[in-house]
Structure 1
Amino acid sequence: MTVAASGPVFSLREIPFSFHGSWFDFSPVVAEKTYAQDVHLVSHQTGMHPILRLIPTAETDITATPHQLTWSCEGGRIDLAYETPDTVRLRGHRLGLRLLAADPILTPFSGPYFYQDPADGSFVFTVYQTGRRYRITLIYGQITEQLNAQTLGAAERGVVLSGDWEIAIEEYEAARDPYASADTFEQVAKAARAEFDAFAAAVAPWRSDRTPAAELAAYVLWSATVRPAGFVTRPAVLMSKHWMDKVWSWDHCFNAIALSGGLPDLAWDQFRLPFDHQDVAGALPDSVTHSEILYNFVKPPIHGWALRHMPPVPKGELAETYRLLERWTMFWLTARRAPGRELAHYQHGNDSGWDNATTFDPERVVETADLAAFLVLQMRALARLATGLSNPDAAAGWSAAADRMRDALLAELWAGDRFVARGARSGRTWSSSSLLDLMPIVLGEELPESIRATLAAKIEKHLTAFGPATESPTSEQYQDDGYWRGPIWAPSTVLIEDGLRRAGYTDLADEISARFRALCESSGFAENFDARTGEGLRDRAYTWTASAYLVLSAAQEGRRRQGL
């Protein structure tokens, strides 16, 4: 990543080019870890679907900035900019473009049907996979070829443009008025840049040379945001506009925190979206996307922790927030507690968000210390919300419940020098080398000092040059690309850093923050990172990683201003 006068320059192989509110992007990434030779228009309605191939008629270099995508060669160029979330403009100067269906095969249940609309002369792809249409309207210049319009079966479908030309491409449903715009391409690109600049100024007003990745982090969030559609009930920051194109029910908390300082309404939408799909038992879904809601797993109850890091709940939302958070908490206290037990359990590592952490190797249905700690913080949040609603009895009840769970955590899972996990049915206990076992540090000042000191010392042993590895680097189970068995992740880093700071271990918290921020500045915003080398792993445009960078950077800049 480099920074130019027009903003950060980034690689399309890592970060897709998109626009706030849009459900499609432009990228060579067409499936999980699958890279095409050409840039594709990729839609995320009903899943991740490559729709169109954009193939310049000469070999080009590609430059991507937040507001414009450019293919260039000696003497020619093509520029692309979003006019609206569902419309892009492309213009070519002395460089042609082949605009073809990504899938050349048309069957009754897949592929694109391509035709020319007799009403306005535009060319339309209607695509089974997304259930949407993609219209190409010529603004000026000449379409020199149209390939296999109305052809069935296997055929290359699309149009070819040559010389100097300009087109608009739209994604829509069944029909819309013919495309018309009074704006020039320059005006479209300028408006797109202004929209992104305003977003970056809102979420990272503190950015400077000390935070060189802040603007790109803002772009990752801005460009991954989609407008409400399908099951996405609010403007939503997807985890990525690559294949991780969902909202998971703990990932969204980190995005909400990052947005809350400058864009509180958008932040609140992030926090509330999974609650729009809360089930009758009070559980949040595992994930939400355009055309799918999954309930087969849940995610950890970090929502009370998250509220500590957001502005006060709006007065008009206070009662509803209390009701929803209470239902989510009661799910854990009823559906996820064995008879006679004080501590709740996960039914699988996926419920914890740490899918394959070594904590879950002996058994899957497990009472873990991290879950108890999160529930203590969530019940503390409910007590605060009840106080705000002038309900002292409820506040006292939740405070007492939090005390009981904290005391049970210390009495039942603290083994003198470590926290252990306990099988919910078997009752047997064990420890692991996973950072998950150290997550009770999120309780901060609520822990006895001796336990804080022990946890801080163990966390320090997980540190590599880049941050806290999720499995101890000395463990036999450690894997460089082992998902939660080694790599560094943004959420674990933020939670650990916050807990250490509140526990009084500010120097260690500062070191973890600095190492992770430097990691993002050198390796981008990957889903996770190799703890030994710092290499970005898996999805390279993950929003909770960008949010973690913004959260940690904003806090560091705040401390710097205060002289701390």
Structure 2
Amino acid sequence: MTLNGAVPGTDDLLAMVGSSLDLIGAPFTLPRSRILVLAVAGGDSGPVTELRVSRAEYERPIDECTVFRTLSVTSADGSVLPVTGVLPHVIEFGDGVVTLTFAGPHALSIGADGSAAELRLESPDGEVRLVPLGADSESVQIHVDDSRLPELRRSGDHWEHVAETLGVWAAWMDRCPRVRPDLQQMTAFCWWVLGANIVELPGQGKARAVVPSKIGYVGLWQWDAYFIAVGLRHGDPDLALEQLDLAFRFPTADGQLPDVVHDEGVLASSDDLPPQDRETLRRHGSSIADPARPVPLTKPPLAAWALRKVLDAAAPADAGSAEERWTEAAWDTIARSQDWWFTHSDSDGDGMPEYGHPYSSGLDDSPIFDGDLPLASPDLGAYLVLQDRELAREFAARGDRHKAQRFNDRADATLAGLLGMWDQPTGRFRARAAGHSLASYSAVSLLPLLTGELPSEISATLLRALADPEQFGTPWTVPTVAVCDPDFSPERMWRGPVWININALLVEGLKRSGFDDNASQLAEDTVRLVKHGGGPHEYFNPESGRRAETATTSFGWSAALFVDLAVSLST
């Protein structure tokens, strides 16, 4: 690894993270905790004086999960003490006169340095509680249970909790990959994001799920789990495997993997949604399922891609061990899920599976879904080829030549069907909606590069499209819809903004297709975008390089894939 300088210690990394903890896009939280502390939105750019305490919950906006609407601190003379410092383990008020930390995953601890002060807490219903802090007062703990009803307790253990919280974050940051100096600070912040997004799923035996975001996405989405695991493997391969274990834990009887694993179960079909949402979802479903029956919901088949990467980074499993048995079972689960696509999601029986609902694509708002369903899309074809090749490799290693041949033969057939989507006059792959070719020109046309098996003239055409300013060569690339497409929007989700997962897949596709220099350049462009944009946001404006207005901050797969790209660029 080329670092060109002193390798930063854990204290250095914690300080790097502190510079990014603004309590707006990056909340104060703790691995495994549901508690979030955020700045109260104000109308000026002065110091933060009021904080909000919330609890992260599945499918509930953060504004609906408020524990305390405001938390503030005043000194003995009645003046409000502003927030003067934020580190991963502590928030300081008034240069450390009062500090806030965690007392384990389910409580906050607030204490003073001996000076008299007062804690003010305002509940969502407007009730105000004033709690003294100071030399003669013990610290205060705010306990938050699953019902979000807070309980205040007195304690004398505040400074022990400060040390314990520091220990938790130091242990996490010690696993942060050391990378090139120009990438280290953002890598440290992205690694913090991954730790900050760890929650326990009580319904799954308190399993650790690294969620997309504690601000709005509190569950384990299948696709997100794959991308997040790819980044985690560089510092915590065991946690990476835990994400895959959760994603693989609940296949349906016919092999389909669920879209989401959450506190109360899974989301695998429209019947797993609240009743008021079911009919709306079914109206947007396809003829793959009878309109009177549930719409299956899953995510694109990148399970084998992710598992292979994580296993390559993990310690080899001992023969006959529980780890080896789990790995074999995981590959069998992936094989069944792959069969599901061909058996249950190919409505016209042409050998090219289709998306039966936009949710199952991961590209929910893409213009390719403006027309009819089901949708045969070139990205899905590419993923299926890639997954069957990985399955063939696995079963060949087991000595099962029959299965290996079956997977390779199916990959060959899918690749032929994928090449049938190539439109020579326009130089692009076209999706087909209910059998009709679509004019929509999006990044799904580029993703067949992932196969590494395209004819050279097609690969070269896609390479030119990536560089063309009228197609995908925007100032900050790669837009998810081509600039020349009438549906292009630099701000609207999946209709133009840059997504880090699509860029990362294209980096790999360029490598697989023999364009190593172009792959390295796109990787450099991608990490430069995240640095320029101020962090691992959900998606970015391709013209300004800034966070798109509606994009979530501190987003899991953006953080994980920045780490992955930073490691590859530092090797």
TM-score band, normalised by the shorter chain?
0.7 to 0.9
Q: Does 1:170 align with 2:180?
A: no
Q: Could you say which residue in structure 1 is the equivalent of 2:442?
A: 434
Q: Write the distance in 1 (CA, Å) between the matches of 2:40 and 2:33.
A: 17
Q: Does 1:453 align with 2:460?
A: yes
Letter in 2 for 1:54: L
Q: Write the distance in 1 (CA, Å) between the matches of 2:220 and 2:429.
A: 31
Q: Could you say which residue in structure 2 is the equivalent of 1:419?
A: 429
Given candidates 42, 63, 68, the residue that maps to 2:54 is 42
Shift of 1:400: 1.2
- For the residue of structure 2 that corresponds to 1:488, the secondary structure is coil
Residues 91-106 of structure 1 aligned to structure 2 (within 5 Å): 91-92=111-112, 93-101=115-123, 103-104=124-125
Given candidates 488, 492, 495, the residue that maps to 2:502 is 492
Letter in 2 for 1:268: L
Q: Does 1:322 align with 2:331?
A: yes
Letter in 1 for 2:329: E
Q: Could you say which residue in structure 2 is the equivalent of 1:310?
A: 310
- For the residue of structure 2 that corresponds to 1:26, the secondary structure is strand
Q: Could you say which residue in structure 2 is the equivalent of 1:54?
A: 71
Shift of 1:279: 1.9
Q: Could you say which residue in structure 2 is the equivalent of 1:240?
A: 213
Shift of 1:242: 0.6
Where does the alignment leave 5 or more consecutive residues of structure 2 unmatched? 1-11, 42-47, 75-79, 271-296, 318-323
Q: Could you say which residue in structure 1 is the equivalent of 2:386?
A: 377
Shift of 1:95: 3.3
Q: Could you say which residue in structure 1 is the equivalent of 2:568?
A: 555
Shift of 1:12: 0.7
> What do the CA deviations read for 1:393-447 (whole angstroms, capped 9, x no partner)?
11111111111111221135454622111123xx221232211221111112x22
Given candidates 463, 473, 484, the residue that maps to 2:483 is 473
Letter in 1 for 2:52: H
Q: Does 1:508 align with 2:521?
A: no
Residues 28-427 of structure 1 aligned to structure 2 (within 5 Å): 28=39, 38-45=50-57, 47=60, 48=62, 49-52=65-68, 53-57=70-74, 58-72=80-94, 77-92=97-112, 93-101=115-123, 103-104=124-125, 156-164=127-135, 165=137, 166-172=139-145, 185=159, 187-206=160-179, 208-231=181-204, 234-291=207-264, 293-295=266-268, 296=270, 297-312=297-312, 314=317, 315-415=324-424, 417-424=427-434, 427=435
Q: Write the distance in 2 (CA, Å) between the matches of 1:477 and 1:266.
A: 39
Structure 2 vs 1, CA of residues 178 and 438 (structure 1 numbering), >3 Å: closer, same or farther?
Answer: closer
CA contact (8 A) 1:233 1:276 kept: no
- For the residue of structure 1 that corresponds to 2:207, the secondary structure is coil
CA contact (8 A) 1:87 1:170 kept: yes
CA contact (8 A) 1:249 1:285 kept: yes
CA contact (8 A) 2:142 2:153 kept: no
- What is the aligned residue count? 495
Q: Could you say which residue in structure 1 is the equivalent of 2:273?
A: none
- For the residue of structure 2 that corresponds to 1:188, the secondary structure is helix
RMSD of the TM alignment (CA)?
A: 2.8
> What do the CA deviations read for 1:164-212 (whole angstroms, capped 9, x no partner)?
542122234699x997988551x43333233323322324133634432
TM-score of the superposed pair, with normalisation by structure 2: 0.80
Structure 2 vs 1, CA of residues 380 and 414 (structure 1 numbering), >3 Å: closer, same or farther?
Answer: farther
Structure 2 vs 1, CA of residues 463 and 97 (structure 1 numbering), >3 Å: closer, same or farther?
Answer: farther
Q: Write the distance in 1 (CA, Å) between the matches of 2:152 and 2:538.
A: 41
Q: Could you say which residue in structure 2 is the equivalent of 1:128?
A: none
Q: Write the distance in 2 (CA, Å) between the matches of 1:494 and 1:170.
A: 40
> What do the CA deviations read for 1:74-117 (whole angstroms, capped 9, x no partner)?
xx73211223222332113443211232x21xxxxxxxxxxxxx
Letter in 1 for 2:334: L
Between Structure 1 and Structure 2, the one with more strand by share is 1
Shift of 1:300: 1.0
Q: Write the distance in 2 (CA, Å) between the matches of 1:29 and 1:328.
A: 45
Structure 2 vs 1, CA of residues 188 and 199 (structure 1 numbering), >3 Å: closer, same or farther?
Answer: same
Shift of 1:224: 0.9
Query: Which shows bigger deviation, 315-324 or 202-211?
Result: 202-211
Q: Write the distance in 1 (CA, Å) between the matches of 2:179 and 2:356.
A: 42
Structure 2 vs 1, CA of residues 408 and 433 (structure 1 numbering), >3 Å: closer, same or farther?
Answer: closer
CA contact (8 A) 2:183 2:566 kept: no
TM-score of the superposed pair, with normalisation by structure 1: 0.81
Q: Write the distance in 2 (CA, Å) between the matches of 1:78 and 1:550.
A: 34
Shift of 1:534: 1.3
Structure 2 vs 1, CA of residues 15 and 37 (structure 1 numbering), >3 Å: closer, same or farther?
Answer: same
> What do the CA deviations read for 1:260-306 (whole angstroms, capped 9, x no partner)?
13211100011121222222232222223323632233211111222
Letter in 2 for 1:16: P
- For the residue of structure 1 that corresponds to 2:132, the secondary structure is strand
Where does the alignment leave 5 or more consecutive residues of structure 1 unmatched? 31-35, 105-154, 559-564
Between Structure 1 and Structure 2, the one with more helix by share is 2
